[in-house]
Amino acid sequence: MAVMNVNPTRMQLNKLKGQLKTAVRGHKMLKDKRDELMRQFLELVRETRDLRDKVESEINLCNDHFVNASAVMSKESLDASLLSPKQQVNIETEVKNVMSVEIPEFSTSTRTSDSGDIYPYGFAFTSFELDDAVMSLNNVLPDLIKLAQMEKSCELMSAEIEKTRRRVNSLEHVMIPRYQDTIKYITMKLEENDRSSRTRLMKVKDMLLDKAHNYSGKHG
C-alpha cells in the first residue's frame, strides 16, 4: 500500500478526496489529449510519407535533367551558368498551436516576381536540358519546404505524445493509487478511532452507572 505521510484527520481526508477528484479529471483530460494527438500524428505521418515519396521522385527527375545537361555542356560552362543566381527565396516561419504543441508553418517569398529570374544565365550559350533541370529544381522546392515543415511537426508531436503518455501513466499507476490507498488508510484509522472512542464512552457510562447504583444502594 503506497500511503502518503500525512496525519489521519478528517480535514486531511477531505483534502485528499478533492485532490483525487482533480487527479482523476486530469487523467481523463490527458488521456483524451494523448488519443487526439496520436490520431493527428498518425494522419500527419501518412501525409509526410506520401509527400516524401513525391519529393524523392521529383529530386530523381531533377538529377536526371542535370545529368543530361552535363552530358551536352562542359563542366566549366555548367558551373559558370549557375554561378550568379538572379532569384532569391526567403522562408518565413510562423507557429501554429495544435493540442498545446507549437508546430512550425513555413511560407516563402521571392526577391523578384519575374518567373524568368529562376534562370541565372542567358539562353544563348546553354542547353534546354539545363533549363529543364533548373525548372524541375524550382518545382520541387515548395514540396521540399513543405516536407521539412511536416517532418519537424511530426518530431514535435511525437515528443509531446511521449511526455503526455508519461504523465498519464504517472497519474494512473502512481498518483491515483497513492491517493486511493491513503484515503483508505485514513478512513480505516478514523473508523478505528471512532470505535475506540465509543468503547471508552461505553466504559465511562458503565462506570458512571455502577457508581450511581452503588451510591443509591448505600443511601437505601
C-alpha cell at 211: 457508581
Q: What is the pLDDT of residue 23?
A: 97
Closest-CA residue to 67 (of 129, 6, 14): 129
Q: Please identify which residue in the block is written with the cell numbers 493540442.
A: 99
Q: What is the pLDDT of residue 198?
A: 81
Question: Quick check: 133 and 68 in contact, CB under 8 A?
Answer: yes
Q: Hey, where are the domains in the chain?
A: 10-159
User: Global pTM?
Assistant: 0.77
Q: What is the pLDDT of residue 220?
A: 45
Contacts 24+ apart (CB under 8 A), 48-53: 48/147, 48/150, 48/151, 48/154, 51/143, 51/146, 51/147, 51/150, 52/147, 52/151
Please tell me the distance from the alpha carbon of residue 91 to that of residue 121, in angstroms, as a whole number: 24
* Rounded mean pLDDT for each run of 10 residues along the chain, 220 residues in total: 83 94 97 95 97 96 93 90 90 91 92 90 86 93 95 96 96 95 93 82 79 59
Please tell me the distance from the alpha carbon of residue 178 to that of residue 82, in angstroms, as a whole number: 68
Q: Given this structure, which CATH class describes domain 10-159?
A: mainly alpha
Q: What is the pLDDT of residue 188?
A: 92
Three-class secondary structure of residue 158 per DSSP = helix
Q: What is the pLDDT of residue 215?
A: 55
C-alpha cell at 41: 500524428
